[in-house]
Structure 1
Amino acid sequence: MLKQFIALSLSLAFCTAGFASVETVKAKLAQQYPNVKINNLQTTEMQGLYSGTLDSQIVYVNEDAQHLFIGSMIRLKDQHNLTKDLAVKENTIDFKALPLNDAVKTVRGNGKRQLAIFSDPNCPYCKTLEGNLAKLNDVTIYTFIYSIKAQSILPSKQVWCSANKEYAWKNLIQNGIKPTAPANCATPIERNLELGKKLGLHGTPAIIFSNGYKVMGAYPAEEIEKIWKNFGL
């Protein structure tokens, strides 16, 4: 697949003359394919090929807006993965700026690796992710209870008001057992909703790595391990 992508891209580069501007490519996309919403369109190191994001995935489009490429762009000179750089740039959140005191903290092993999770207790994918996270070792997990479903507000506040927040959260998200603590304490639930909106999180679950890289969905434990390895985290 990679060889095919490079071959196609090289042929495109050699066959194209008089390269279009980003605005021209945007206009062609809007006119010819109005339902294809490519964000953050920009030039690449390869003339005549432009990068952007489509449904949070890095894609490439040629200057006549007739061909879309999905795959890794490798700079042959140093074997550098330019697509990986774009993925980090387009999906990065300042981890150090997250208000971690507003999250439920879970530590396993030495806790040296860190994750921030945005999760709704009534989200089925969040329940799946919680099971996947349980397979990870040597990790500190900060779970921001992100109650985007109306029915999640009350039990989320009850979790926060529980004497053991971590236990109450796990019991709710994994076993469906609602907390018994009254929701009569100050909670960060509303702040978490505002934070999620500010970060552009329109769904759950969201996973944020300590370098700020963000992914959406119930990633398997082995995929999370791969991301840690790829980024040296």
Structure 2
Amino acid sequence: MQKTIWVAILLSLSSLGWADINTAQQNLAKNYPNLEINNIASTEMRGIYSAELDGQVVYLNEDAQHLIAGNMLRLSDQKSLTQELIVKKNTIDWKKLPLKNAIKSVRGNGKRQLAIFSDPNCPYCKQLEVELKKLNDVTIYTFILPLKSQSVAASKQVYCEQDPAYAWQQLIEKGIEPKTKKSCTNPVNANLALAKELGIAGTPAIIFSNGYRVLGAYPANEMEAIWRELGL
């Protein structure tokens, strides 16, 4: 009997939580129908809910009349709950990346790992390559992603070279296209499909070995900082 009562109480509390979230959603839909706020969820702070607005983490209460954009910090251990949400929202399953389709480059002991999605004619991708050169003890998997039409032919040709890693460096750093004009099996179309599946619509994209994903030409010191923060 006692077990049944406790189960009933827990279910009741759970339904109240959902009711509060539903109330917030209903208030948003009623009062601000043109405001696209998604993924409303409860937080550790009672009565405050996290959500996404234009890709940013925001917070609101049940009446949905106010939004807070900023960092929610748990005082007991100084942990940023907002950063935790950002990491979770931007994380994929690293184990599902088909690394065989990437060009592999190892520096030092290669202990740390990065996956890069890059277009040879993307100026920010070229900038990122300069920063990647500054990293030590890293294995870099480059998925060539020719989003620009003029990049497709050269990207496919890289895989036909005897040393694809060298051919890629010549292409991305110096704009030198592979000299051997022959056809071969290549993963370019598979890379394009993978990017679409992962929601990668621009280059460069960086994926850390825990699956955390960022976009842009991050400086080497910022990538080092992310490694430290994520404990990688």
TM range (shorter): 0.7 to 0.9
Give SS of 2:116's match: strand
CA separation of 1:157 and 1:220: change in aligned 2, threshold 3 A = same
CA-CA distance at 1:154 after TM superposition: 0.5
Cα separation, partners in 2 of 1:161 and 1:81, compared to 1, 3 Å: same
Q: Report what 2:76 is aligned to.
A: 77
- Equivalent residue for 2:88? 89
Post-superposition CA distance 1:73-130 (Å, at most 9, x none):
1222333322222122111111122111100111111111000011111222111111
What is residue 111 of structure 1 aligned with on the other side?
A: 110
- Return the alpha-carbon distance in structure 2 between the equivalents of residues 91 and 26 of structure 1: 23
3-state SS in 2 of match to 1:89 = helix
Secondary structure at the residue paired with 1:153? helix
The worse-fitting range, judged by mean Cα deviation, of 80-89 and 146-155 is 80-89
Aligned pairs for 1:141-220 within 5 A: 141-220=140-219
Sort the Cα spacing of 1:224 and 1:47 in 2 relative to 1 into closer, same or farther, 3 A.
same
Q: TM-score, structure 2 length as denominator?
A: 0.84
Gaps of at least 5 residues in structure 1 are 1-18
Q: CA separation of 1:37/1:119 partners in 2, compared to 1, >3 Å: closer, same or farther?
A: farther
What percent identity do the matched residue pairs reach?
Answer: 61
- Contact 1:20–1:63, Cα closer than 8 Å, also in 2: no
Which SS does the other structure have where 2:167 is aligned?
Answer: helix
Note the aligned Cα RMSD (angstroms). Answer: 2.2
Structure showing greater radius of gyration is 2
2: CA distance, partners of 1:35 / 1:98: 37
Structure 1 length-normalised TM: 0.84
Separation in 2, partners of 1:130, 1:31: 48
Cα gap change, 1:29 to 1:170, in 2 (>3 Å): farther
